[in-house]
A = this chain, B = another copy of it.
Amino acid sequence: MGRRELDPRKEKILQVVTDDYIESAEPVGSRTIARKHKLGLSPATIRNEMADLEESGYLKQPHTSAGRIPSHRGYRYYVNTLMEQKQLTDDELAFIKAEFDPKHKPAEFDSLLQRTTKILAALTKYPSLILTPRLQEAHFRHIHLVSMDTNHILGLVVMDTGFVENILLETPVAYTQDDLNKISTFLSSKLQGVSLMDFGTAIVNQLKTEAQFGEAFDDTLQLLLTALGKKKQERIYVDGTINILEQPEFKQVEKFKLLMGILEEEGKLLNLMNQALQKRGLNICIGEEINDDAVEDCSMVTATYEVDGRILGAVGVLGPTRMDYAHVVTVVDFVAKCLGGFLTEK
């Protein structure tokens, strides 16, 4: 990052072209540059430089006799070394702060994430995504079994991330609530602090040997394990899909439909967002760097959110490659930090 590949003047021109194109969505010509930005250069000189930049793959032309636009490589260079970090405006800051006001009742996870997605969409004007906390990363805090009827018990699992999960178990034998209370206490004390990721067959076997609740208990425990594993662990919240309609590149229905299709397919989105989890903190994917053919000419800016140093999930924004990176990066980064902070307090 930041390795200098281009001489300063070329850099400047690449920057100006990119900035301008991001703002106007129109190919940028040499005359425009000479006029708008006082570089002390004539259009002809700029043309020469731009021709060079095109040859080395940073710029491209939609067609002869049009201005230049950045190639994916150009965007990458721009993002890595040229982009000037933008500050959040006071309004934006106030807006976000208000939403994450700790005075807000500790709402359900659900609506917290939903609201966060809305915030992100509202601030960036792009479709926004949030990946829910991964259950595997969470550690057990409490387990409680409640008798429902003769052959059903309800398992209540509370994780240290504040996540609560209900699991309905079918049991061959009837437990009294007293039995279940004893078992609950036992399980809670044994499993407290264990992460769900580690809660595998090994631990279950160990519990079986230590416990003295009869062999029916073994079956129940096994059921709990499998049910917990089967729980749909990750979800994606999406908001602001309409925002893409504001982007001129999606005025052609076909392009739009393609992106829209992805935004409605949770599986695909999960893939995209899980990529983001690989790397702590901020992540920018441009064009083909996103591993999905359908999102041609899209970029994704994501940031992980953490509690106690554990990466729980990610928030992100999906937009055209001609995205206002400077702004989006700032917003996404900040919102991710706020979300992490908010969850930590709870």
Contacts and interface: CB of A to CB of B under 8 A. Distances in A.
Interface stretch (A33-41, A91-99, A253-261, A279-287): A253-261
B164 A154 contact: yes
A142 interface: yes
A156 interface: yes
Interface string A205-245: 00000000000000000000000001010000001111001
B181 A177 contact: yes
Contacts of A251: 253
Q: Which of A105, A168, A239 has the most CB atoms of chain B within a 10 A radius of its CB?
A: A168
Given A146-B156, A158-B154, A166-B164, A241 B253 contact: no
Given A164-B166, A177-B185, A156 B158 contact: no
Interface residues of A, number: 33
A251 to B, nearest CB: 7
A200 interface: no
Nearest to A238: B264
B181 A232 contact: no
Given A156-B146, A251-B253, A260 B232 contact: no
Interface in A98-116: 105-106, 108, 110-111
B245 A264 contact: no
A148 interface: yes
Given A142-B148, A164-B166, A181-B181, A261 B242 contact: yes
Interface of A: 105-106, 108, 110-111, 141-142, 144, 146, 148, 154, 156, 158, 164, 166, 168, 177, 181, 185, 230, 232, 239-242, 245, 251, 253, 256-257, 260-261, 264
8 contacts: A106-B168, A108-B232, A142-B146, A154-B156, A177-B181, A177-B185, A245-B253, A245-B256
